[in-house]
Chain A
Amino acid sequence: MNLDKVISGFFFILAMTINFGFFYGDIDNPELHSVYELFVALVVSLISTVLKIGDKTQLGAVLLATSLVADIQLIAAVTVWTITEYLSIVDVEAFAAIISLSGGALLANITSVILYIGETLKSKR
Chain B
Amino acid sequence: MNNNALWIILQKLRTPLLVIIVTYSIAILGMVLIPGMDDKGNVYHLTFFDAFYFVSYMASTIGFGEAPYAFTYQQKLWVSFCIYITVVGWFYGLGALVSAVTDKTLKFEVMRSRFRKKVREFEGDFVIVLGYTHVNAEIIKKLHTSNMEVVLIDKDEEKINFFMLEELTQDVPVMVGDALLTETLQDAGILRSNCRGIVALFENEEYNFRISILTKFLNPNVKVVAKSTHDDISKSILDTDIAKVINPFEVFAKRVDVALRSPHTLILENWIYGNSDLGEEPLYLPEGKYVICGYGRFGKALQTKFNKYGIEHVFIDAKRLANHKMIEEGSFVRANPDDKDILLDVGIKESAGLIVGTNNDIDNLSIVITAKKLNPDIYIIARENTMQEVSVFQAADIDWLFMIEQIYINKTSMALVNPIRYRFLKLVLIQEEGWTKSLINLLKNQVGINPLLVRLEVKEESAYALYHELLNGVEVEIETLLCSLENREERNHAFPLLLYRDGEEILLPSSINLKIGDQILFACTKESLEEIELIASNIYELHYAKYGKEKENPLLRRFFG
Contacts and interface: CB of A to CB of B under 8 A. Distances in A.
Nearest to B29: A39
A35 interface: yes
A56 B14 contact: no
Interface stretch (A16-24, A45-53, A97-105, A114-122): A45-53
A47 B18 contact: yes
B25 A43 contact: yes
B1 interface: yes
Interface in B19-70: 21-22, 25, 28-29, 32, 47-49
Interface string A31-60: 000011001100100110011011010000
B10 A86 contact: no
A46 B21 contact: yes
A124 B28 CA distance: 42
Contacts of A50: 14, 17-18, 21
Contacts of A43: 21-22, 25
Contacts of B108: none
A47 B47 contact: no
* Interface SS, A side: helix
A53 B29 CA distance: 26
A82 interface: yes
Interface in B411-444: none
A39 B17 contact: no
Contact of A53 (B1, B14, B21): B14
A86 B171 CA distance: 58
B122 interface: no
B48 A82 contact: yes
Contacts of B49: 82, 85-86
A86 B11 CA distance: 38
A40 B25 CA distance: 8
A85 B47 contact: yes
B10 A53 contact: yes
Contacts of B10: 53-54
B7 interface: yes
Chain A contact-residue range equals: 10 to 19
B11 A53 contact: yes
A53 to B, nearest CB: 5
Contacts of B25: 39-40, 43
A14 B32 CA distance: 22
Most A-side CB within 10 Å, residue of B10, B13, B18, B48: B48
Contacts, number: 39
Interface in A87-120: none
B223 to A, nearest CB: 37
Nearest to A47: B21
* Interface SS, B side: helix
A67 to B, nearest CB: 13
A47 B11 contact: no
Contacts of B11: 53-54
A43 B49 CA distance: 14
A90 B536 CA distance: 83
Contacts of B32: 36, 39
Contacts of A40: 25
A85 B10 CA distance: 35
Interface string A72-85: 00000010001001
B129 to A, nearest CB: 33
Contacts of B18: 47, 50-51
Nearest to A64: B10
Contacts of A47: 18, 21-22
Nearest to B8: A54
Nearest to A85: B47
A54 B21 contact: no
Nearest to B10: A53
A56 B1 contact: yes
A50 to B, nearest CB: 5
B48 A35 contact: yes
A112 B280 CA distance: 82
A39 B51 CA distance: 12
A78 B17 CA distance: 20
A114 to B, nearest CB: 24
B242 to A, nearest CB: 36
Contacts of B7: 54, 56
Given A39-B29, A43-B25, A47-B21, A54 B48 contact: no
A35 B14 CA distance: 27
A115 B29 CA distance: 31
Nearest to B24: A43
A86 B48 CA distance: 12
Contacts of B29: 36, 39
A35 B45 CA distance: 13
Contacts of B28: 39
A50 B24 CA distance: 15
B181 to A, nearest CB: 21
A43 B22 CA distance: 8
B16 to A, nearest CB: 9
22 contacts: A39-B25, A39-B28, A39-B29, A39-B32, A39-B48, A43-B21, A46-B21, A47-B21, A50-B17, A50-B21, A53-B10, A53-B13, A53-B14, A54-B7, A54-B10, A54-B11, A54-B14, A82-B48, A82-B49, A85-B47, A85-B49, A86-B49
Interface of A: 35-36, 39-40, 43, 46-47, 50-51, 53-54, 56, 78, 82, 85-86
Given A36-B32, A46-B21, A51-B18, 20 more contacts: A39-B25, A39-B28, A39-B29, A39-B32, A40-B25, A43-B25, A47-B18, A50-B17, A50-B18, A50-B21, A53-B10, A53-B11, A53-B14, A53-B17, A54-B10, A56-B1, A56-B7, A85-B47, A85-B49, A86-B49
Closest 4 CB pairs of A and B: A54-B11, A43-B25, A50-B17, A82-B49
